[in-house]
Structure 1
Amino acid sequence: MTGLRTVSPLEISDGVIVAQPPVEDTAAAWLAGAWPAGGRVRYQHLVYQAGADINDSIPPPDNPTLWIKVGPTNTWALFNGRTSQSSKFNATASYRFRFGRAVDAVCAMGMTGVHSVRVRVLDPTYGTVYDKALTVGLAPETADWWEWHFGEWTPTGVLGLFTGLPAFPQADVLVDFIGTTDMEVGNLILGNAKEWGLGVEIGASVGIQDFSRKELDEFGNRVLVERTYIGWADMSVPIRRSEIMAIKNYMTKNRAKPILFLGSQDIEALNVFGIAKDWSVAIEYHDYSMFAIQLEEV
């Protein structure tokens, strides 16, 4: 039985990215000088929009009254720890990282139009020590002949998870995506996996918090306006006596950081990249306690 696994993402910076897709964003790189109102620039992997005509040498972060932060650049959106923004690519995308430490888990989430994901670990002394690819395809929503021929097919492998990468601290980690001309990747997470307890108990629940507008107007007509939503999952995990302080310290340390929680190998809804809205450890038995956690997607 597999316990609850967690992956805390390593920080992505210019110092660890060896290579990335060649065009970071359609926005031009910021330079001191004149920019028209509405013009967009990129600066330190963020996109800013001019709120008025600008002609100065003050970088956008230091001039928030004139520059409006839009969000991350395209090739860095998959590192921003949010599920609401994604990176868009034309058929292929490749990243190469050098952390100077061991990395044993890679996960790509929120993929659309992606056919395959490949992860390699290249050590300067031993060469290729890990090379694995995951095929992402489409499948019927239910195992039924009618659905197979006429039903809607949905993506499979939307969680591109690679664990058990060998520990080579000086190695480079390469991640390659192949797909359609309009493929998207929501999150790319690299880190080290931890395993807690004896597995998620039966009785876990999943759902969404919907922010859509669903109201009746003064004439009794239903007004529906689709808006965003946040996925959530509640689960309980029996943990060992020796894990109580360890999991308390881990959750405290990462209390305001998104974490990848992997609750199941076959129920993908129990795998959440998000934050712990609430958690507790009930010390019910001498050798085992119950770790209860409420998760929300970021």
Structure 2
Amino acid sequence: MSGMKVIKPTTITTAMLTSSTVAEPAAGEVAWNAATAYALGAVVIRATNHMKYERKIAGTSSTAPENDPVNWDEAGPTLRWAMFDRKIGTATTAATAVTVVTRPGSISGLGMLELVGRQVDITLKDAPGGVTVYSRTMNLDGTQITSVYEWFFLDFEQLTDFVLTDLPQHYAACELTVQITSTTPVSVGVLQVGLVMTAGRTAMGATVGIIDYSKKEKDRFGNWDVVAGAFSKRGNLQVLTPAAQFNKIFRSLAALRATPCIYIGADQVGFEPLIIYGFYKDFSMVVQYDQHHLCNLEIEGLSQ
């Protein structure tokens, strides 16, 4: 199989987001106002931290929702920032296109997850308004065509996840533009950029699946009552690592123990399930051979 890589995240801050075609507040979102009397269940947003809040008790309060847990519950990110909140299950949506421009600093990797759309265009400039040094267009049609018949009659198959690991890292003042387009509504669950760490080569025998958090119970007549819940990806990878990098790889993985990253078991079309956004539950390195060692990774994805 191909090389195993990890995209270590760069947190996108307010200062890094130069522009977005999604407004804040977006249509349907309402900014909090200290003088307004809110009904139970009313939802407002705070542009200061890009979060939504739901009213727990009807009334008026002069304290900002983020500092008032008595009256407000956190209710997720604003529409503009959902793609940057480093969580699965929240998405930035638009009618036909979303375009964001960021200044993330040095990056070599980009991952987009939970996508709905037809095409993504990525442009990296050496500086704001500068010279284009990297450009890629990703077709989000994941249909595997094997015959003329399939070319004409197979339905469009949405490519929901993809990663790029070849961005030029040495442009610390870079400007990154990402645009997703379609003729129908588009959606972006996760846009993560960062530095790429190459751990080695994924060995054959990798496994991937899901952990299902749905509730399934039988009633007294033996009938199943199923309540659909969240789920998360899980994967078990065995990676062949260079012996000379034993200490470097061990220390790098140990440093990621509490950081959600994009783990790439195989960067190939058709192997998207081996792209897992989450944490490793366990990793171990076996000193197996003179020139290579074995790294065992058990990865659990974030719930979606």
Structure-1-length-normalised TM-score: 0.90
1:237 deviation in Å? Answer: 0.3
Q: In the TM superposition, what is the alpha-carbon distance from 1:245 to its structure 2 partner?
A: 1.9
Distance in 1 between residues matched to 2:67 and 2:147, nearest whole Å: 58
**Identity value in percent:** 24
Contact 1:110 1:187 in 2 (8 A): yes
Instruction: Tell whether 2:175 aligns with 1:172.
Output: yes
Instruction: Give CA-to-partner distance per residue, 1:46-89, whole Å, 9 cap, x none.
Output: 00011122323211111001011100111111112221222111
Query: Aligned pair count?
Result: 293
Aligned to 2:11: 11
1:103 to 94, 101, 107: 107
Q: 1:35 to 1:281 in 2, by over 3 A?
A: farther
Give how far 1:159 is off: 2.3
Question: Where do residues 71-220 of structure 1 align in structure 2 (5 Å cutoff)?
Answer: 71-99=76-104, 101-112=105-116, 114-124=117-127, 127-137=131-141, 139=143, 143=146, 153-156=156-159, 158-166=160-168, 167-197=170-200, 199-220=201-222
List per-residue Cα deviations over 1:117-166 (Å, max 9, x = no partner). Answer: 111112348511222211112526x857887777765213x223233222
| Whole-angstrom CA distance in 2 between matches of 1:152 and 1:216 | 37
Instruction: Please state which structure has a larger fraction of its residues in strand.
Output: 1
- Which ranges in structure 2 are unaligned for 5 or more consecutive residues? none
Query: Residue 286 of structure 1: CA displacement?
Result: 2.9
CA contact (8 A) 1:9 1:190 kept: yes
Deviations along 1:17-52, whole A, 9 cap, x unmatched?
Answer: 111124233322223222312221111200001112
In 2, Cα distance between equivalents of 1:206 and 1:7: 19
Mapped pair 1:294 → 2:286: no
Question: Secondary structure at the residue paired with 1:245?
Answer: helix
Q: Distance in 1 between matches of 2:43 and 2:152?
A: 46
Gaps of at least 5 residues in structure 1 are: none
One-letter code of the match for 1:222? W
Separation (CA, whole Å) in 1 of partners of 2:228 and 2:149: 30
Letter in 2 for 1:64: P
1:131/1:183 CA distance change after superposition, 3 Å: same
Aligned residues of 1:89 and 1:181 also touching (Cα < 8 A): no
After superposition, the Cα gap between the structure-2 partners of 1:79 and 1:62, relative to the gap in structure 1 and judged at 3 Å, is same
Partner secondary structure for residue 55 of structure 1 = coil
**SS across alignment from 1:85:** coil
Q: Pairwise CA RMSD of aligned residues?
A: 2.2
The structure 1 segments of at least 4 consecutive aligned residues displaced by more than 4 Å after TM superposition are 142-153
* Partner Cα distance (1:50, 1:265) in 2: 44
Counterpart of 2:204 in 1: which secondary structure? coil
Aligned amino acid, residue 39 of structure 1: A
Deviation at 1:216, TM superposition (A): 2.1
Residue among 47, 51, 57 paired with 2:56: 51
Instruction: Give me the whole-angstrom Cα distance separating, in 2, the residues matched to 1:87 and 1:264.
Output: 27
| Aligned residue type for 1:14 | T
Report the equivalent of 1:68. Answer: 73
Contact 2:22 2:98 in 1 (8 A): no
TM (norm. structure 2) is 0.89
